[in-house]
Amino acid sequence: MKQPLIAPSFLSANFLNLQADIEMINNSNADWFHLDIMDGRFVPNISFGFPIIKQINKLSKKPLDVHLMIVEPDKYLEEFQKAGADILTVHYEACTHLNRTLVKIRDLGMKAGVSINPHTPVWVLEEIIDYADLILIMSVNPGFGGQKFIPQTYDKIKKLKRMINEHENKPLIEVDGGVNTSNAKALTEAGADVLVAGSAIFGSENPVETIDKMKYFKD
């Protein structure tokens, strides 16, 4: 079984000393920086915007995995590209013309991702798999960090993996919400390629060691 990519979620980072956390991730075995963008409309919370992304981009040595939990994401695709996003993920529930949005993201030179909320079945993505580089399954209801993992996510990942295997294009499966060292291996066995973790990493006594435990399934 291959090791998953690890994407620490900066929603849980120390915003009074972001540089220290950025350097920590740069020097760890983490693979991406995961940035959750919230507008207070699509989800009941507000996180951060372009200025913070630009500052993180200046110091990061790894790709920026930007997850848009916002309404009308099409208005801002170019701005996120200019801010430094390498992977840009929009929500199925927020896009009226999802195919068009994913094509635009790719045309801007970014990897295109699409996310679904816990209540959304994977079959709704059948027609857009060939246009996505990544599919993000939310394993908690989006909006806040530190929530409890929804166990039905395992079956959801397996269903999505079967659906992807029927297509020529093979988007990565990413999981976000309640991910930690206890379920990292099971999620990977189910078919996940990328694990997003916030409080499990930044809230641990040794974040670098926690990243290794998640990536290499260490006890």
Q: Which residues are catalytic?
A: 36, 176
C-alpha distances (whole Å) from 5 to each of 174, 197, 206, 215 are 9, 11, 19, 7
Q: How many residues does the chain have?
A: 219
Burial (0-12, 13-18, 19+ Cβ within 10 Å), 42: buried
CA angle 9, 122, 66 (to 5 degrees): 25
Fill in the DSSP letter of residue 30: -
E strand spans, 117-193: 134-138, 172-176
Q: Where are the strands (E) in the chain, listed by range?
A: 5-8, 33-38, 64-69, 87-91, 111-116, 134-138, 172-176, 194-197
